[in-house]
Every structure is written in structure tokens, then in C-alpha cells.
Amino acid sequence: MENVILRVENLNVKLNGEAVLIDLSFDVDEGDVLAILGPNGAGKTTLLKALLGITPYEGVIKWRKGIKIGYVPQRLPFIRDVPLSVKEFFRLENAPENEIKEILKSIGLEEEILKKKIGDLSSGQFQRILIGWALASDPHVLLFDEPLAGIDIGGQESVYNLLERLKEEKNLTILFVIHELSIVYRLANKVLCVNKRMLCSGVPKEKLTSEAISNLYAGQVKFYQHKHKGQESL
């Protein structure tokens, strides 16, 4: 009980009169990595926005007192068109220069990148910068909305390894919307399957059976777990 960092009870969200989330209840413990799975339109992004308090909801969302939250949205395409350097972008968060350098080190980027324009970064570099920007507030919890969307395979592995390392180094609690099951199995210790309602919750290897995945996506999409030693594909 005392380890719970987030408690959600009977969460309901309606947008334009339509039910987007229906009666969700779950807990997140300190240090958890929770993967949120579901098809397009399932309410995953809405869930993150409700947790941040930027979408109206009914029910209970209770964060531990004093918790600081960092948020990395799915896409910020308009930022790429703003003529800001990386350094100027971090200054929007009022981060001092010595802290910016520490953040760059933690996300595996050299100081020289501070001079680059945001629009000149690769997709992988840009995603790392967004993660770094979220870290500037020194959060206890990071929320990610599809952190690997639009990134090439090499960049995905780079960002994914970064998340894994940050989790260990900073003892972060992480909640992320994701579609890649291989990443869920490798990083998450809990999974929440959502399609407006909760369809499964628990340990990924126990809950993500072939039947559960088929029910979650209604047979529309085939998902495969990458083979690791001692594991079989779904």
C-alpha cells in the first residue's frame, strides 16, 4: 500500500458525449514500468492526459503527494518548424546550463548538439531531446505516448536502451503507450490492456496470451513477440 505512487479508481472519460474510457481501475507502484496496450482509438492517449489532469474525467486519480511528472507526447511536429536551437529549447524549461549539460550526458548526446536547430535533428535525436526536456524538471515519473513513433529501427533501439538505462540510474516510474510487444516484454513489469475498458492487467508474460492479444485487437492486427532465448513467438 505504502509503495503505491498512483491509484486510479472507476475512471470514466467522455469526449463530445462519447465514452472514451469506461470504469478503469488500477494501481502503479513506485519503480514500476507500466506498458499501456490497445488498438487505435482505444483511449490510451486520453488516459495519459487524464492522469496529467489536462482532460476532464470522473472517478479518482490519486498521485502520491509531492510527485513530479515528466511527459513526452507522441509527436510535436510544430516544434520542428520553430527556429530554435536545442539550447534555446531547453531554456524554455528554465533549465540552467550546467543542468542541461548533465541531461545531455544522461541521454547520450554531446554538448555540440546544443548549437543545432531543432529542425535539423534526426528523429532519434529529437526524441532523445524530448526525453531530456521531460527530465529537466527532475521528475519521479515519466509518461510516454508511443516514444518510438516515427523513429527508424536504429533510432528505436537507441531510445529504448536509453529508457532502460534511465530506469535503473534514476529509479524512475515509467508509464508508456506502446505497440511493440518485444519492448513490452523486455522493459515492462506490468501491462494494462485497454480498449475503452480494461481487458487485462498484470505481468506481461502471464497476461499477454495469444487469446488476450487477439481479443484486445479484435483480430485486426497480428503482433509478434521477438524471439529471445528460451521464448517462443506468439
In the numeric block, which cell numbers belong to residue 199?
Answer: 481487458
Residue 15 lies in a domain: yes
Inside any domain, residue 156: yes
**Is 222 part of a structural domain of the chain?**
no
Sequence length of the chain is 234
Give the CATH number of the domain where residue 50 resides.
3.40.50.300
pLDDT tens digits, one per residue of 158-213: 777 878 888 888 889 999 998 888 889 988 999 999 999 999 999 999 999 989 99
Q: Which residues pair with 11 in a beta bridge?
A: 24
Any domain includes 172? yes
User: 228 lies in a domain?
Assistant: no
Pick from 203, 183, 6: nearest CA to 193:
203
- Look at residue 229 and tell me if it is in a domain: no
| Report field, pTM of the whole predicted structure over 0.75 | yes
Q: Which three cell numbers stand for residue 103?
A: 541531461
In a domain, 206, yes or no: yes
Task: Return the ∠ at Cα 134 (arms to 67 and 13), rounded to 5°.
Answer: 65
> How many structural domains is the chain composed of?
1
Q: Which of 11-25, 57-71, 130-144 has the lowest mean pLDDT?
A: 130-144
Q: What residue numbers bound the domain in which 45 lies?
A: 4-217
